[in-house]
Amino acid sequence: MDQPIWLTFLVAFIFMNVLLIGMAYMTWYERKVLAAMQDRVGPNRTGPKGLLQPIADGIKLLGKEDLIPANADKVVFYFAPLVVFVVAITRVAVIPFGNITISIFGQTINLWITDLNVGALFLLAFGSLGVYGIILGGYASANRYSLLGGLRSAAQVVSYEIILGLSLVGIFLLSSSLSIRTIMEQQTRDLIFALGPLTLTLPNWFILSQPLAFVIFFLAAVAETNRAPFDLPEAETELVSGFHTEYSAFRFSFYFLGEYINMIIVSLFAAVLFLGGTDGPGADRFWGIGILWLLFKVIVFLFFYIWLRGTLPRFRYDQLMGIAWKVLLPLVLVNVLITALIRLIGNGQLRF
């Protein structure tokens, strides 16, 4: 439903600020979960339960000295972190936080910024654009370790972005749409199976019909966001932090912000495409319950991000590429083939 342009900008402003706050407290959440896994306390000094630690970290970064290497390409060095940050936060524009409109003070408000008919492709495309900020940052630093980190990131994104996109082809075939909102709406319909005298009702979540695609999507998403155990572009043991070695203070924080925002966006993407988005018990009675269900699914997905970081060691670079091309790519192609055959049989276009 159309709404005034000023209202769309207001909704976008609110969503993006909520995303920034969520990013800040994602750092607190990660520290707490890792501390619990490693039998430590975690942040507990700044505010109750350490809840003010993200604010203290922001103030600390603002107060640090901003150093620029003498031989750096200064213009590129300035703007490379902004590319990562801006591209990351722009992706929230096509994420629906509900499938209905609400009325506040007589104004009808959509729970999404824009509903593109190719919203899924928009998310994938902008996800791959973020690598330019990493490559440019590595190049502009005049540091060979940083340049190697940027090149690693380019190869990693090329490999895993292909797999990430192919893992969603099954969903596109089943839903006949690339609109994220349409895909989420289709998952609100229950599947009813008649088993003799018994009737089994299941949610039409695509994780049930595409379990292999979900596992592949998760692995590719972790690699695409440069998170452990796939964080080869910033491997401290080999590259002394890689592409952001020469960045300090607030400029470094843009890379930091971009990584955590991408994690949240990918988690929202997974929740909406595979886990029904806002669908859940009671969600059809009040729109706020649906948003709580979406938030819960995102937190669970983020927990697995952290669990992997606290459990697995970093892969070697040849292992990283081998997993992509020798394991995940054949599996995702098999998934696409099986889904296409099932869809053709279901439509009566293929008979045996």
| pLDDT averages per 10-residue partition of the chain, 352 residues | 76 86 90 92 89 89 83 86 88 84 76 85 87 86 84 84 91 89 85 70 85 93 85 76 82 85 91 88 79 91 91 86 91 93 75 54
Question: Which residues are paired to 199 by β-bridges?
Answer: 194
pLDDT in tens, 106-160: 777 888 888 888 888 898 888 888 888 888 888 888 888 888 888 888 888 888 8
Q: Could you tell me which residues come within 8 angstroms of residue 236 by beta carbon, excluding any fewer than 6 positions away?
A: none
Tell whether 250 is covered by a domain: yes
Tell whether 75 is covered by a domain: yes
Instruction: Evaluate whether 42 touches 35 at the Cβ level (below 8 Å).
Output: yes
- Domain extent at residue 208: 5-346
Peptide bond into 4 cis (omega under 30): no
pLDDT, residue 351, reads: 58
pLDDT, residue 60, reads: 87
Tell whether 67 is covered by a domain: yes
pLDDT, residue 234, reads: 78
pLDDT, residue 30, reads: 92
The number of distinct structural domains making up the chain is 1
Tell whether 70 is covered by a domain: yes
Tell whether 16 is covered by a domain: yes
Instruction: Evaluate whether 278 touches 294 at the Cβ level (below 8 Å).
Output: yes
Tell whether 351 is covered by a domain: no
Q: Could you tell me which residues come within 8 angstroms of residue 312 by beta carbon, excluding any fewer than 6 positions away?
A: 228, 229
pLDDT, residue 272, reads: 92
pLDDT, residue 52, reads: 92
Tell whether 193 is covered by a domain: yes
pTM of the shown model: 0.90
DSSP 188-223: TSEEEEEETTEEEEEE--HHHH-HHHHHHHHHHHHH
